[in-house]
Chains A and B, each alone.
Chain A
Amino acid sequence: MNWEQLLLVSILLSSLIPGIIIFGLPEERHRLRTILNLCGAVVKISLIVIMDIGIYLGHTFEIRMPLIPGVELLLNGDPLSALFATLSSVLWLLTTIYAVGYLEDSPNRSHFFGYFSLCVTVTIGIALAGNLVTFLLFYEMLTLTTYPLVIHRGTDKSLRAGRNYLIYAFSGGAVFLIAVIWLQNVVGPVDFSATGFSPGFTDSHGTVLALIFVLLILGIGVKAALVPLHGWLPQAMVAPAPVSALLHAVAVVKAGAFGIVRIVLDVYGAQNLLLLGVLPLLGGIATITILYGSLRALQQDNLKRLLAFSTISQVSYIALGMSLVDQPLAVIGGLVHLVHQGLMKITLFFCAGNLAETLGIHHISKMNGVARRMPLTMAAFTIGALGMIGIPPTVGFVSKWYLGLGSLAAGNWWLLGILAISSLLNGCYFLPILIRAWFGKQQESWPEELYVGRFETRLMLLLPPLITAFTVMAAGAVANAQISPLAWVRFIVREYGL
């Protein structure tokens, strides 16, 4: 085993081992648990950064483990997995800090943090998966590890949401499994590679491959919350705020979107997909999802549900970028949105959690004048919301700019229109909140003011959204610099030779 393989294994172990230890810890070992969590997160980030540098310098990170003929587990660090792994590990650190603050004095923390760590291990596994079988393995495990987090509160409502989540996720998993096996029967074992399988198969098995592509997208679309497979997501909002942040920004939805990227770029490859002619279908689903999510978000009064529908809409930008796979600029836009959406959405969820935890505010109608009580939180929220709308210099603008350029280059004027309408709708549901929060008058006392202290809320709750909000601004402002998500995405696209 060389150092590259050792690194891959230790990246996975750096959150798995703390997770297992945490399960065994008694409830009251608060400090030890926090230390374990934070150490795990920091170690993981450092290891992943080393891997990033290694990948940039051209090292190959690969572990193969054959199971049965034609089925093997393959962990592979390529630039794309580095992007997702880095995003997940950084956001995990912030979410862990936030969760420690959020769950202070609540019961069952060992349970919560144990699954939290497992969940991140699995997410990193998804990032590092080098073929569809490995991807499937971690994809199913992700469902298993997030389920206890969704039903963490133990109320009937959360049980119902958990049940729906399971049914959606495992049905998707089953469809995905069939598609993977079928694909393997047709084209043989497929590793993720820059070109996809050989174009010869497209000539001989065109219809079957197109059908398999649809099945794959259907299977993975459940986690990516593509309409009409999105039903579980708004319901899953009953989970605690850190879980919502993790589910929507990092783990589940993003894993689905990442899966779409993998299928489009690495399994089929641009060339095959153009020959098969299935891309307009993906583009169509993405467009419908973008508009539907925004329209539903307009009707919501519950802040977290609004954010959930906004997620449904925003994640589809990634799918939209992938549907223009022959346009490098659109691919850049889609890939970079993977990171950017994560940053923005996690900021918004942190802020929503702060409002709920500090003042008991769950609904937009109760938010009048809340910015005067919690200026920093609302400032972060504002930056996230402006990013969602796509106002420069936030990262949201960068994504939309590239998506727009890509659709122009493809000659798709109507896509530009969709982007404009979507931004308009985003504005329609975010701006009233901002106006209400900053300029509205507080009419009644807060529903339940839980925290009174030196800062507007607990420091551990306040810091993570501020950091992410700052990143949303900074990464947008210096998008063209040497080190930024955009720069890395350009590196990826160069690797794919687009």
Chain B
Amino acid sequence: MIFLNVDNPSWMITPIIVPLTAGLLCFLFQRKTFAIALSAVLVNLLAACFLIGQLLTCGPMRYSMGGWQAPLGITLRTDGPAVLMLLMTGVTGFAITLYARGYFSFRIDDPGGTDRHQQQQRYFWPLWLLLLAGLNGLFLSNDIFNLYITLEIIGISAASLAALSGKPAARLASFRYLLSSLLGSLTFLLGIVFLYKSCGLLDLDLLRNLTENGPGVRAALALMSVGLLLKTALVPMHFWLPPAHANALAPVSAILSALVIKGSFYLLFRLWFEVFASSITTEALNVMGGLGAGAILWGAIQAMRQHRLKLMVAYSTVSQLGYLFVAFPLSRAADNAQVWSIVIFMAMAHACAKSAMFMSAGTIFLHFGHDRIQDLTGVRASLPITVLAYGIAGVTLMGLPPSGAFIAKWLLLSWALASCQWWWVLVIIAGSAMAMIYVFRVISRFIVIPEGFSSQKLEFHSRLLEWPALALALISLLLGLVAPWLLHILAKGSIDLTQILPGGLP
């Protein structure tokens, strides 16, 4: 049985095929949707772990689906960053699936509006699985046109998920989200066209070895970057994110905030630091860093001003994304694996923490019927575990040790100081300070129980609403402690750029 060998590269289609199939099955068997979805995300998680093991034993791999070679076939490849992103998606997706189950059954059991909620659940599972397949495809694809397709799959399913809640605000937000996402992917496609016109290549590995650095490639890179930045919601292209994320259903918000924007960011980073590393200039890196700094500050300021919990969490996403971009100009002080390490730590920590936060916010919304920060005093008395999860996730957002965000910030600060770029230090510290303010503004309300406060006794109580959030929050907090392990995967699985480009990054 050669197919079942551990070193067979065809294993890497599992994370794409399984959610896709499960999504179709969810349409067919509408009674068993949760069982199908749960087994799909479980298999997906196991497949991610398996691929990590495969990477550690056999190194990076390529696989052409169905034996069709590039440029017409679909080529996939695994390397360190890809499998770690798969792991991130697997873990977060598993927790979100459990939470979504709790969320929907809570709402369906709620008297009134049952029909609507059942319908929401019916659409949620296939869309979510489709999105998962798209994300996994994005992380694994090695062909730039396939990447466009995965981006579109993600965009379509994400916009439909965002519209699920059915509120007018959510529909409007998701319409705008869809249009922005379309604009982004069309710009990306135009970039692909330019690229194909000037090089005639679509395969990332072949493009990487390309020495040509003409205006066509530069224009292509610029177009693709703008498209991806729009999808990643970097300030000032973040306008669509807060309403779309804040008005969606809680599990959907978690998916959008934790995973979807990471997808386009991952692609952008890959293009800049692996494929077109030789075309990147210092000015371009500094522009990205500047936008990132703007995102950190603007997002944090907006988050501090919000009165609604979910909007605050959404703006905090805008702010946290900025850190990923500040890594751009600082990357010249580091080699390839190190650059990836910062992005991986930040992305993984943020994915876990932010989904935990949205889950907690959703649970609070379900139980109290609103998310006005002002009126959420003493939530701890009714939902202690949710508040704990929220608090721990907040600690990660602030970048306190030993969270993954702390490791990322440590690396950022270390590079900034080593290369005497102290202005980034100020931005990062200011961002963390403001994160402290917007996190604790809420937490201090949650945990304070004033005298004479009678806690609301809750009739419904679902463990699935509380524990997945806590588990994710703990993972995000303790991520720093498994740092050596993650670094090992990255070092093992990344292709050393210095061998391809003598003299390292420009």
B411 and A151 contact, CB distance less than 8 A: no
> Is B8's CB within 8 Å of the partner chain A?
no
Q: Measured between alpha carbons, how far is A167 from B437 in the docked complex, in Å? A: 8
- Among the listed stretches B148-156, B237-245, B444-452, which one makes contact with chain A, having 4 or more residues with CB under 8 Å of it? B444-452
Q: Mark B479-498, 1 if CB is under 8 A from A, else 0.
A: 01101100100000000000
Q: Mark B426-455, 1 if CB is under 8 A from A, else 0.
A: 000100110011001000100111110100
A182 and B447 contact, CB distance less than 8 A: no
Chain A residues with CB below 8 A from B449, complex form: 107-108, 111, 154
A151 and B444 contact, CB distance less than 8 A: yes
> Is A471's CB within 8 Å of the partner chain B?
no
- Among the listed stretches B9-17, B126-134, B395-403, which one makes contact with chain A, having 4 or more residues with CB under 8 Å of it? B395-403
A170 and B433 contact, CB distance less than 8 A: yes
A171 and B433 contact, CB distance less than 8 A: yes
The residue of chain B having its C-beta at the shortest distance from the C-beta of A177 within the complex is B413
> Is B96's CB within 8 Å of the partner chain A?
no
> Is B6's CB within 8 Å of the partner chain A?
no
Q: Measured between alpha carbons, how far is A144 from B411 in the docked complex, in Å? A: 23
A267 to chain B, nearest CB (A): 17
Partner of A185, one of B395, B417, B480: B417
The residue of chain A having its C-beta at the shortest distance from the C-beta of B419 within the complex is A185
Q: Measured between alpha carbons, how far is A437 from B53 in the docked complex, in Å? A: 73
Q: Measured between alpha carbons, how far is A178 from B417 in the docked complex, in Å? A: 9
Chain A residues with CB below 8 A from B480, complex form: 67
B414 to chain A, nearest CB (A): 5
B432 and A174 contact, CB distance less than 8 A: yes
Partner of A68, one of B413, B440, B484: B484
Dominant secondary structure of chain B at its interface with chain A: helix
> Is A137's CB within 8 Å of the partner chain B?
yes
> Is B407's CB within 8 Å of the partner chain A?
yes
> Is B49's CB within 8 Å of the partner chain A?
no
> Is B425's CB within 8 Å of the partner chain A?
yes
Chain A residues with CB below 8 A from B341, complex form: 68
Q: Measured between alpha carbons, how far is A107 from B414 in the docked complex, in Å? A: 46
A224 to chain B, nearest CB (A): 20
A144 and B400 contact, CB distance less than 8 A: yes
A68-B411, A154-B451, A155-B450 known; A170+B436 contact, CB < 8 A: yes
A178-B413, A178-B429, A181-B417 known; A67+B450 contact, CB < 8 A: no
> Is B418's CB within 8 Å of the partner chain A?
yes
Partner of A159, one of B384, B411, B432, B448: B448
A184 and B448 contact, CB distance less than 8 A: no
A68-B410, A184-B414, A185-B418 known; A166+B436 contact, CB < 8 A: yes
> Is A162's CB within 8 Å of the partner chain B?
yes
Q: Measured between alpha carbons, how far is A68 from B337 in the docked complex, in Å? A: 12
A144-B395, A171-B433 known; A182+B417 contact, CB < 8 A: yes
A154 and B413 contact, CB distance less than 8 A: no
The residue of chain B having its C-beta at the shortest distance from the C-beta of A140 within the complex is B400
> Is A71's CB within 8 Å of the partner chain B?
yes
Chain A residues with CB below 8 A from B483, complex form: 67-68
A65 and B448 contact, CB distance less than 8 A: no
Q: Measured between alpha carbons, how far is A167 from B435 in the docked complex, in Å? A: 11
A211 to chain B, nearest CB (A): 12
The residue of chain B having its C-beta at the shortest distance from the C-beta of A65 within the complex is B481
Q: Measured between alpha carbons, how far is A425 from B384 in the docked complex, in Å? A: 48
Q: Measured between alpha carbons, how far is A153 from B453 in the docked complex, in Å? A: 12
The residue of chain B having its C-beta at the shortest distance from the C-beta of A153 within the complex is B451
Inter-chain contact count A-B, CB under 8 Å?
85
Chain B residues with CB below 8 A from A162, complex form: 444
B414 and A185 contact, CB distance less than 8 A: yes
Chain A residues with CB below 8 A from B401, complex form: 133, 136-137, 140-141
Chain B residues with CB below 8 A from A136, complex form: 401
The residue of chain B having its C-beta at the shortest distance from the C-beta of A166 within the complex is B440
Q: Mark B299-319, 1 if CB is under 8 A from A, else 0.
A: 000000000000000000000
Q: Mark B410-424, 1 if CB is under 8 A from A, else 0.
A: 110110011000000
The residue of chain B having its C-beta at the shortest distance from the C-beta of A156 within the complex is B450
> Is A148's CB within 8 Å of the partner chain B?
yes
B447 and A151 contact, CB distance less than 8 A: yes
B489 to chain A, nearest CB (A): 13
Chain A residues with CB below 8 A from B413, complex form: 177-178, 181
Q: Mark A161-183, 1 if CB is under 8 A from B, else 0.
A: 01100110011011001100110
> Is A66's CB within 8 Å of the partner chain B?
yes
Q: Measured between alpha carbons, how far is A155 from B453 in the docked complex, in Å? A: 12
A332 to chain B, nearest CB (A): 33
A214 to chain B, nearest CB (A): 16
A221 to chain B, nearest CB (A): 17
Q: Measured between alpha carbons, how far is A222 from B433 in the docked complex, in Å? A: 15
Chain B residues with CB below 8 A from A148, complex form: 447
B436 and A159 contact, CB distance less than 8 A: no
Chain B residues with CB below 8 A from A70, complex form: 414
Chain B residues with CB below 8 A from A163, complex form: 440, 444
Chain B residues with CB below 8 A from A171, complex form: 433
Q: Measured between alpha carbons, how far is A67 from B480 in the docked complex, in Å? A: 7
Residues of chain A in range 326-374 having any CB-CB distance to chain B below 8 Å: none
The residue of chain B having its C-beta at the shortest distance from the C-beta of A110 within the complex is B384
Q: Measured between alpha carbons, how far is A70 from B384 in the docked complex, in Å? A: 38
A199 to chain B, nearest CB (A): 22
The residue of chain B having its C-beta at the shortest distance from the C-beta of A133 within the complex is B401
A165 to chain B, nearest CB (A): 10
The residue of chain B having its C-beta at the shortest distance from the C-beta of A171 within the complex is B433
Chain B residues with CB below 8 A from A167, complex form: 436-437
Q: Measured between alpha carbons, how far is A184 from B413 in the docked complex, in Å? A: 11
Partner of A137, one of B402, B411, B425: B402
A68 and B407 contact, CB distance less than 8 A: yes
Residues of chain A in range 366-397 having any CB-CB distance to chain B below 8 Å: none
Residues of chain A in range 31-73 having any CB-CB distance to chain B below 8 Å: 65-71, 73
Q: Measured between alpha carbons, how far is A176 from B436 in the docked complex, in Å? A: 16
Q: Measured between alpha carbons, how far is A71 from B487 in the docked complex, in Å? A: 13
Q: Measured between alpha carbons, how far is A147 from B418 in the docked complex, in Å? A: 34
Q: Mark A59-98, 1 if CB is under 8 A from B, else 0.
A: 0000001111111010000000000000000000000000
A181 and B444 contact, CB distance less than 8 A: no
Given contacts A69-B487, A147-B444, A154-B453, 20 further A-B contacts (CB under 8 A): A68-B341, A68-B411, A71-B410, A73-B402, A107-B451, A137-B402, A140-B401, A141-B400, A148-B447, A154-B451, A159-B444, A162-B444, A166-B436, A171-B433, A174-B433, A178-B429, A181-B413, A182-B417, A184-B414, A185-B414
16 A-B pairs whose Cβ atoms sit less than 8 Å apart in the complex:
A65-B481, A68-B410, A68-B483, A70-B414, A71-B407, A71-B410, A111-B380, A111-B449, A141-B400, A151-B444, A151-B448, A155-B450, A155-B451, A171-B433, A181-B414, A184-B414
